[in-house]
A and B are shown apart, each in its own frame.
Chain A
């Protein structure tokens, strides 16, 4: 890279740190820090929603599928998410805002009590640890700036943690505005230059096999179904919930999700296409590195620095947001109820800051420990959907209050079954090079059945529904003492 490019990257990193320091002076309460005081405007929401949800896993993951299989990446890997985003905006957001919650586990705590709250908080914590994003930033800094992987991981995490600790969600969201613009503009310009350099769309048709242009690609139907089910994670996505609670109005969140869905769809299409351009141009690289290699080849000095800053921004906007959520899960959703809910606001703010720092250390530890994290996102999303989807939907949509035992059984059974399928497929299954996952092959009555690691959610969700129904049939109606207890402690935090 040219010195100008290094300069752009340095200015970007110093800029986000300065912003964190400036915002920290506005933070006086836990609510200010954790949900920006519930006063976030529509444009900030658009930027923070788009940039938070799209990390390096999307940038490299979707381009990898585009590079290897073509447009199936957009049609079956990305498109189901837009439908669930519309459902979340139209059906979930209004109900969530009516409840004046601060986090996803708050929603189930209000309906079922503290046991379910802790299980959902644990699933949310596992989901929120930004392991892939931190590993991604290590790889990017290693590839582009020659910084050793371990130092890159520590550096990326340290910068994100410092400004998140200082300014909470507001600092996170304000840096997201710059990160959002950088990542979108860099990708759009990079795509235009890459298409121009490699003969445009016509050259793709000439160079790639027809299966690259088939919406279903070459995937088995069951896997396409699992991709679709994966999109349900949007309905219990802790970062979405946090932003719904942080929005200044329901209208703001509705507009932000609508604008965001258009930007997400464009982003996904361009990422898929860049993977295909790299495949057509004959790049002999790891599929995951195809987008980066192609874009850096075609961008001139200056724009290259902007693109690298955009890639780092893509990772950092994910790291800071999810560390905030993981920290909140530890301090606000797990420790606070265990401590009896009577923690003053200043202590809660201090404890959550410690918890964010702790979550970052755990994440860096995982990122350095694992050499390969393929399918890690499937694992984390499956854990969250299996434990949280059924009790959350029931809490929001059932007319009569559900019974506490139903929430407890549903969340714990969902979590246990998802974890069990992962353990069984990992220990008894064989690694499949073609699909990049573990497959456990069983023979029942002469028929061969393949259980992919990705199927965990297909087993866990029905079990979670059945467990919920059993809890509804045999559990006692909730005593309003326990529920009022949770409501009072949440209201106390809100009021402060």
Chain B
């Protein structure tokens, strides 16, 4: 239970920040609405 709790906290904090960074990088590369590649 202890392990799952800390994994969950890690997933929430680091996972959400990683997705947000992924979003920013994707917008920088392809724009807000992706262009055809």
Binding site for B on A (CB under 8 A): 23, 26, 36-37, 39, 41-44, 46-47, 170, 174, 177, 180-181, 184-185, 187-189, 191-192, 195, 200-201, 213, 248, 259, 262-263, 265-267, 269-270, 273
Most chain B beta-carbon neighbours within 10 Å: one of A174, A181, A266, A270: A266
Q: In the complex, which residues 1-37 of chain B have their Cβ closer than 8 Å to any Cβ of chain A?
A: 1-2, 4-5, 7-13, 15-17, 19-20, 22-23, 26, 30, 32-34
- Given A43-B19, A47-B19, A200-B2, CB of A248 within 8 Å of CB of B34: yes
Are B16 and A26 in touch, CB under 8 angstroms?
no
Among A23, A174, A213, A269, contact of B4 (Cβ-Cβ < 8 Å): A269
- Given A170-B32, A174-B32, A177-B23, CB of A192 within 8 Å of CB of B17: no
Shortest Cβ gap from B8 to chain A (Å): 4
Among A36, A192, A201, contact of B2 (Cβ-Cβ < 8 Å): A201
Alpha-carbon distance A259/B26, docked complex (angstroms): 16
Alpha-carbon distance A359/B12, docked complex (angstroms): 33
Are B23 and A26 in touch, CB under 8 angstroms?
no
Are B12 and A188 in touch, CB under 8 angstroms?
yes
Shortest Cβ gap from B6 to chain A (Å): 8
- Given A37-B33, A44-B23, A47-B20, CB of A270 within 8 Å of CB of B8: yes
Alpha-carbon distance A46/B4, docked complex (angstroms): 22
Are B12 and A43 in touch, CB under 8 angstroms?
no
Chosen A-B contacts, 10 in total, with CB atoms closer than 8 Å, are A44-B26, A181-B16, A184-B15, A191-B9, A192-B9, A248-B34, A263-B15, A263-B19, A267-B12, A273-B8
Please give, as numbers and ranges, the residues of chain B lying within 8 Å of A195 by CB-CB distance.
5
Are B8 and A41 in touch, CB under 8 angstroms?
no
Please give, as numbers and ranges, the residues of chain A lying within 8 Å of B16 by CB-CB distance.
180-181, 184-185, 188, 263
Please give, as numbers and ranges, the residues of chain B lying within 8 Å of A269 by CB-CB distance.
4-5, 8
Please give, as numbers and ranges, the residues of chain A lying within 8 Å of B26 by CB-CB distance.
41-44
Among A26, A181, A259, contact of B17 (Cβ-Cβ < 8 Å): A181
Please give, as numbers and ranges, the residues of chain A lying within 8 Å of B12 by CB-CB distance.
184-185, 187-188, 191, 263, 266-267, 270
Alpha-carbon distance A188/B19, docked complex (angstroms): 15
Shortest Cβ gap from B22 to chain A (Å): 4
Most chain B beta-carbon neighbours within 10 Å: one of A184, A191, A248, A270: A184
Please give, as numbers and ranges, the residues of chain B lying within 8 Å of A270 by CB-CB distance.
5, 8-9, 12
Alpha-carbon distance A345/B17, docked complex (angstroms): 38
Are A39 and B33 in touch, CB under 8 angstroms?
yes
Please give, as numbers and ranges, the residues of chain A lying within 8 Å of B4 by CB-CB distance.
269
Among B11, B30, B32, contact of A262 (Cβ-Cβ < 8 Å): B11
- The closest CB in chain B to the CB of A22 belongs to B32
In the complex, the 6 A-B pairs of residues with the closest C-beta atoms, listed nearest first: A184-B16, A188-B12, A188-B13, A43-B23, A266-B8, A266-B11
Please give, as numbers and ranges, the residues of chain B lying within 8 Å of A213 by CB-CB distance.
1
Shortest Cβ gap from B27 to chain A (Å): 8
Are B22 and A43 in touch, CB under 8 angstroms?
yes
Are A184 and B13 in touch, CB under 8 angstroms?
yes
- The closest CB in chain A to the CB of B36 belongs to A39
Shortest Cβ gap from B36 to chain A (Å): 9
- The closest CB in chain A to the CB of B35 belongs to A39
Among A26, A43, A187, A262, contact of B33 (Cβ-Cβ < 8 Å): A26
Shortest Cβ gap from A315 to chain B (Å): 18
Alpha-carbon distance A174/B24, docked complex (angstroms): 11
Are A41 and B34 in touch, CB under 8 angstroms?
yes
Please give, as numbers and ranges, the residues of chain A lying within 8 Å of B5 by CB-CB distance.
191, 195, 201, 269-270, 273
Are A189 and B34 in touch, CB under 8 angstroms?
no
Shortest Cβ gap from B20 to chain A (Å): 4
Please give, as numbers and ranges, the residues of chain A lying within 8 Å of B19 by CB-CB distance.
43, 46-47, 180-181, 259, 263
- Given A47-B19, A269-B8, CB of A36 within 8 Å of CB of B33: yes
